[in-house]
Amino acid sequence: MFLAVDAGNSDTVFGLYNQEKWQHIWRTRTLLEEPMAFHLTDQLPGDPDVMPADRDRYERLLRLWLLEANIPLSAVTSVVISSVVPELTPTLRTTLARLFGFEPVVVGPAIYPALPLQILRPYAIGTDLVANALAAYVRYKQNCVVVDFGTALTFTTVSGEGQMLGIAIAPGLKTAVRSLFANTAQLPEVPLVMPESALGTSTAHAIQAGVVLGYEGLVRSLIQRIRQELKGDCLAIATGGMVTAIPSLHAEFTDIIPTLTLDGIQEIGQRVRTHGL
């Protein structure tokens, strides 16, 4: 079995892949500061970047999930980590190595030569965007823009030849709402649902109109602009944890694939094994 780990700023997702499909997908909050049985100041010998509290949290979760799924640790034979949280990466790497008895692959510039992509700024780009681009390229072999509705709203464009053409980044929907909530005295945090009108008649309605309807226009506008720059030849693919928040956008996309990032991580694992990296 193959285990994909997608560590994002809000959530860390673990996907267990076997027999050509995702058998289990588990999600937990990415909370580095969450208190545990160990003190955060206690560090593992030989790895000053790994905190036992975080290590213990992820190990206990994985053991519990696998136990509930009746899957022995020995069934997991390959692990690939994609992390956009640098301070979490050593913790995940150490935890998974101790748990499964082998070193996981960590997505980064060292393994990019195994991929059929021309990667834009390989030492600066988020590994989740590389995974998205690879999954879209392998699946479609056409110009694609992957719109990822996560902590950030990202637009990753890859050509039919596997060249990453460019990226656009905006705050994600939840990030925008939390920013309003955190930086204003009277605006509450509200659920992200599509309002019936752009004319807000209450504070919650007003925020929903501004954020949800505003992001509807943002996504449409950027997809249109990208297509114009590519002379109209570009599929739009949606993914991410908030992909269902704006139903009116669904018609804009050729496909909506919640597992696209995991699919890319799984494809990276295959390529790395083929090249012996």
268 CB burial (10 A radius; 0-12, 13-18, 19+): buried
Closest CA relative to residue 158, chosen from 139, 138, 144: 144
Q: Look up residue 136 and give its amino acid.
A: A
Which residues, at least 6 apart from 182, have a Cβ–Cβ distance to it below 8 Å? none
Q: Is 263 a catalytic residue?
A: no
CB 259 within 8 A of CB 13: no
Say how many Å lie between the first and final Cα of the chain, rounded. Answer: 19
Phi-psi region of 215 (alpha: psi -120 to 50; beta: other; left: phi over 0): alpha
Which helix (H) or strand (E) segment holds residue 156: the answer is strand 152-158
Helix, strand, coil % over all residues of the chain, rounded to 5: 40, 25, 35
3-class DSSP assignment, residue 145: strand
Catalytic choice (6, 54, 128, 148): 128
Take residue 45 and report the two structure tokens written for it.
Answer: 């010998």
Residues involved in catalysis: 128
